[in-house]
A and B are shown apart, each in its own frame.
Chain A
Amino acid sequence: MSNDTSNPAQILENLDWGPAPEDQSAALEWIARSGETPSHFIGGKWIPSESGQTFPTRNPASGEVLRELASGTANDVAKAVEAAKSAQVAWQELGPEGRARHLYALARGIQKQSRLFAVVETLDNGKPIRETRDIDIPLVARHFYHHAGWAHILEESHPDAQPWGVCGQIIPWNFPLLMLAWKIAPALACGNTVVLKPAEWTSLSALLFAELCEKTGLPAGVVNIVTGAGETGAALVANPDVDKVAFTGSTEVGRIIREATAGSGKGLTLELGGKSPYILFEDADIDSAVEGLVDAIWFNQGQVCCAGSRLLVQESIAADVHARIEARMKKLRVGNPLDKAIDIGAIIDGEHLQRVEAMCERAQSEGIACIQPDLDFPAEGNWFPPTFFPEAPLSSEIATEEIFGPVLVSTTFRTPAEAIKIANHTRYGLAASVWSQDLDTALHVARKIKAGTVWVNGTNMFDASSGFGGMKESGFGREGGVEGLKAYLRNEAEVPGEPQDTPSPVKAIEESDFPDLDRTAKLWIGGKQVRADGGNSYPVLSPSGETVGLAALANRKDVRNAVEAAGKSSWAGMTGHGRAQVLWFIAENMESRKEDFVRLLMDLTGDQEETCRAEFEMAIGEWTKWASWSDKHDGHVHDTPWRGLVLAVHEPFGTAAAICPNTPKTPLISFVSMVAPLLAAGNHVVAVPSVHSLAAVEMCRVLEYSDLPAGALNLLTGNPAELAPVLAAHDAVDLICTFGKGDLSAEIERLSTGNMKVCWKMGTCIDSPLEVLDRASQIKNIWLPHGV
């Protein structure tokens, strides 16, 4: 690759690239010095592992051991959490301006040593120095600057918000310092303290950052760094004094963390894997789109959660595009990441390299054609060439599984609709790129892709002002921007929710349960009254034990049918105004049934007429309130240092399950107040009302003639304890809401990991309507460059 002769006359002829190495001496010196006694950074002190054990961290480009790291034990973690806990109040009370000054000092400190950070990162991670120098480290500094600002204005921008307390943060190896910044900056800005565990392959920049914290006088215990592998992270997640957990990494580990924190009440944000589509329309700037692939899939060796790894190219240009990609690949330079003229550095670790190799070998053994340029690699280190599977069947492993390497797969599409369908046909929803010079096409497709970030005519663009994070199995929560800040705040008015009773088993029907004139309460699924699949009903009892009526007893098949119906509804496709009209109409129609409702409520609750009228009025009020809000949940435009617009738009989750609380005294309002905001945000709802709730059944009778599209709301009466777990485990349910705290929500959280659905404990805090809508929806950031 590089010419070993350094004769200018000869170079004048061949015009080769020569070596252009970055100086590593200062970084190696720091690594040697800092590694003399491998330590954690706890409470402002450097403390070796209690066990005395260490493990090596290597340079992926050479395989050489750079230094040893302390292996964190559960006790080390406990010490760090204790230090963070005891520092938290003082840190919070330092106030916005005080915290802002510290964050500003960190931003400045990173800039002052930017080259040292960049070289240490490249040595430890194997990514090209160009990336650490020009991308990672500048973004880190920007993140701290931006959040110094947030710290300063926090009381004005979020008057009722409070920090969680101690945040346990676990970060991956692909962007070690940048992920640290994404975690620590917002946490500190909001007044939290932090225990962070860097990835075991790449802990050095975190330790260099800890030194910076020391130098800038950050109060002891505000930032604690504990090094170690998976078990260290597990101890951090499990520590009862950790109030909030934030994790970036694989979906697999995300599942384990979701299960481990289930029912703990800990805040949780997860940024997980992806298989992001890169959609190329025939009216795109094709050369630029091909060049964009270099930044999409050959950036950071493809070890990027949001890598544009799935190329979707319009059939009319596929052959041309494939030829251009092949030609472009030949120009890529793979090798010593400290060389300033290298495009692709070293794969993080031999173990990961083997995984990437194995996936590509399996694809080839399945007969899938593979293109790799002929490149020379250095003798030592972990190398993998840029790789392209131009015709990977959609059903192949290589086209569906996250590879986390420099491997691109391609497929074709015929129409925009087909592109959207293929793009969304994945478990993941982290990011997407759309290339078209046609504004209508680009924006339309961007809106339709289920992903947290969509880049139009670009790729892998990040900024502290704009939230990054996934949908579906790519996780939940955002990092960056005002939406990311929310992950580190909770509402001051938070009240502990009433424990949700484990619902009593529904009672068997006795002869005396039959009323004089029969009234059939069925399930309501897909806009139709349907009988329960099991053919069973159960009596709904008044407080005095008398049967008010019979309700259909739903089982798991009814859950299946309801979720199916919800998935087909047209509700989400309506405008906010359209939804508002329907929700108002529901209130109007309900009003005309006032006396029926009041009588029913009196029977169900045994309460006085006045009390029941009040509940009825409240329920009407809920419908009109959410009708009013449904076209007012505006998104925003981020102020990003960039020529273009970053549009943050709210999108519904999709299918939301609502497990209503068992509230014998408020059977109507407990149902309406849960489902109405979910509907207002555009979700399709499957609701399990209180076992007592014939009121919900009655409500659905009103919905039948209120223009609510079929499937927008589905009602499953029965035993919540039986139905909720089925919904929690259902992989087509995107959001599951419970009310209050209790055993049921713990079980739901544990069972939610199949598709990493979001679990929302409504009512754990008194949120403003906008906050409720924020939680009933997710943010997509659309990056829309412009320029002429």
Chain B
Amino acid sequence: MLNPGGELDLDWVLSTRINLSAIERRAKSLSGRRSVKKAWQIGWLAHAVQCIDLTTLSGDDTPGTVKRLAAKARNPVRRDILEAHGLPLDLHCGAVCVYHNLIETAVEECRGSDVNVCAVSTGFPAGQIPHEMKLEQIRSSVAAGAQEIDIVISRPLVLEGRWQDLYDEVRSYREACGDQACLKTILATGELGDLRQVARASRVCLGAGADFIKTSTGKEAVNATLPVALVMLRAIREHHQRSGHLAGFKPAGGIRTAKESITFLMLVKEELGLDSMRPDRFRIGASSLLADIERQLEFHATGRYSAHHRHPMG
């Protein structure tokens, strides 16, 4: 299941061509080309819940807040709403996503559920710490029980065109994760300059063994956008065709509404297909998205527009 990676193919990396206007046209027209209504919208929204990496990444996170978050990830949607729609009562989020120091709490709280614990790593969000410390952080987090590691790539390597160094970096993270933890590489696309760099960085990370490529830390000025997602999904498709390994995709940052989450899912279905929509290949990194989806699901159950406070806090 994990991406074994392969040799760096610089020709492939550098041959990428991206036309922004055409990418934007595709991204913009998608929400007009596809729509899911009624039962399908309910089914898709429930699926989006399964794909959420419920995230808290703040300086003031405490074991208390993480406990609440984990509990919410285990029971993200009110039982009566699930019952009304005939949805599985064990519906849960994909993971909780925390800083290293809170892994222990998260692991404890998620025990006995299928909710994974995900830790951001390698000097998240800026990544401006020594390489050895990054590797050490990964190892520590894996040892602490994190099943998924969201690393940040060193953006200077992209900006300076040091593709071999980037490959080596991600390769070393792959090794540090071992054969257990899932490696998600955050490209921080908002800091890479343009979509061609996003495409190149995606190809390097996939080639180096990333299990997921992820758009953003949520801390950059521009986070997950549809054009960026399109470029990354196409890189995943090419990597799949070349290597036979189908990697995952995680948009993160700025996805706050139910409608947006469905649009991302539609893009994945259109560009890659059903296999790439499952939680093992698609995650959304978000904190407030769930609350909007809950309201939508309640609306579909009652026919009345809902309010935030009707749904339990995380």
Contacts and interface: CB of A to CB of B under 8 A. Distances in A.
Interface of A: 6-12, 14-20, 130, 133-134, 283-289, 291-292, 295, 331, 340-341, 343, 435, 437, 457-458, 643-644, 785-788
B40 A787 contact: no
A11 B24 contact: no
Contacts of A287: 234
A128 to B, nearest CB: 8
Lowest 9 A-B CB distances belong to which pairs? Answer: A11-B43, A18-B40, A288-B22, A785-B21, A6-B39, A787-B20, A285-B19, A8-B42, A20-B35
Best-surrounded residue of A7, A9, A134, A295 (most CB of chain B within 10 A):
A9
Q: Is the interface of B mostly helix, strand, loop or mixed?
A: helix
A458 B29 CA distance: 14
Interface of B: 17-26, 29, 32-40, 42-44, 46-47, 85-88, 194, 234, 265, 269-270, 274, 277
A288 B26 contact: yes
Contacts of A284: 17, 19
A431 to B, nearest CB: 17
B314 to A, nearest CB: 22
A340 B31 CA distance: 10
Nearest to A291: B26
B86 A9 contact: yes
Contacts of B40: 6, 11, 16-18, 20
B18 A285 contact: yes
B91 to A, nearest CB: 8
Contact of A288 (B19, B38, B194): B19
Given A9-B43, A331-B270, A343-B33, A786 B38 contact: no
A286 B25 contact: no
Contacts of B35: 20, 340-341
A295 B30 CA distance: 12
A643 B21 contact: yes
B43 A283 contact: no
A340 B46 CA distance: 21
Contacts of B33: 130, 341, 343
B202 to A, nearest CB: 13
Contacts of B46: 8, 12
Nearest to B37: A20
A458 B43 contact: no
Given A17-B34, A133-B32, A288-B26, A11 B21 contact: no
A787 B21 contact: yes
Nearest to B270: A331
Given A12-B47, A12-B88, A458-B25, 4 more contacts: A7-B86, A9-B85, A458-B22, A644-B21
A331 B85 CA distance: 29
A527 to B, nearest CB: 45
Contact of B23 (A10, A288, A343, A786): A288
Contacts of B22: 285, 288-289, 291-292, 457-458, 785
A8 B43 contact: yes
Contacts of B20: 785, 787-788
Contacts of A8: 39, 42-43, 46, 85-87
B42 A11 contact: yes
Nearest to B42: A8
A160 B86 CA distance: 73
Contact of B21 (A7, A9, A16, A786): A786
A130 B32 contact: yes
Contacts of B269: 15
Nearest to A327: B237
A437 B19 contact: yes
A15 B265 CA distance: 10
A207 to B, nearest CB: 27
A287 B19 CA distance: 10
Nearest to B39: A6
B88 A9 contact: yes
A18 B41 CA distance: 9
B87 A9 contact: yes
Contacts of B21: 457-458, 643-644, 785-787
A785 B47 CA distance: 37
Contacts of A341: 33-36
Given A18-B37, A20-B35, A134-B29, A11 B17 contact: no
A285 B277 CA distance: 25
A644 B19 CA distance: 12
Contacts of A643: 21
Contacts of A295: 25, 29
B279 to A, nearest CB: 11
Given A437-B17, A457-B19, A17 B36 contact: yes
A183 B264 CA distance: 40
Contacts of A14: 274
A445 to B, nearest CB: 15
A540 to B, nearest CB: 61
Contacts of A19: 37
A20 B36 CA distance: 6
Contacts of B24: 787
A643 B26 CA distance: 15
A434 to B, nearest CB: 12
Nearest to B231: A287
Contacts of B36: 17-18, 20, 341
Contacts of A134: 29, 32
Nearest to B29: A134
Contacts of A286: 17
Nearest to A288: B22
Nearest to A287: B234
A1 B22 CA distance: 28
A643 B38 CA distance: 36
Contacts of B86: 7-9
17 contacts: A6-B39, A8-B42, A8-B46, A9-B87, A12-B43, A12-B47, A12-B87, A12-B88, A15-B43, A17-B40, A18-B37, A18-B40, A19-B37, A20-B36, A133-B32, A343-B33, A785-B20
A289 B44 CA distance: 30
Contacts of A20: 35-37, 40
B47 A15 contact: yes
Nearest to A5: B39
Best-surrounded residue of B37, B42, B277 (most CB of chain A within 10 A):
B37
Best-surrounded residue of B21, B24, B35, B194 (most CB of chain A within 10 A):
B21
Contacts of B37: 18-20, 340
A128 B25 CA distance: 18
B47 A18 contact: no
Contacts of A787: 20-21, 24
A11 B19 CA distance: 35
B76 to A, nearest CB: 14
A437 B25 CA distance: 16
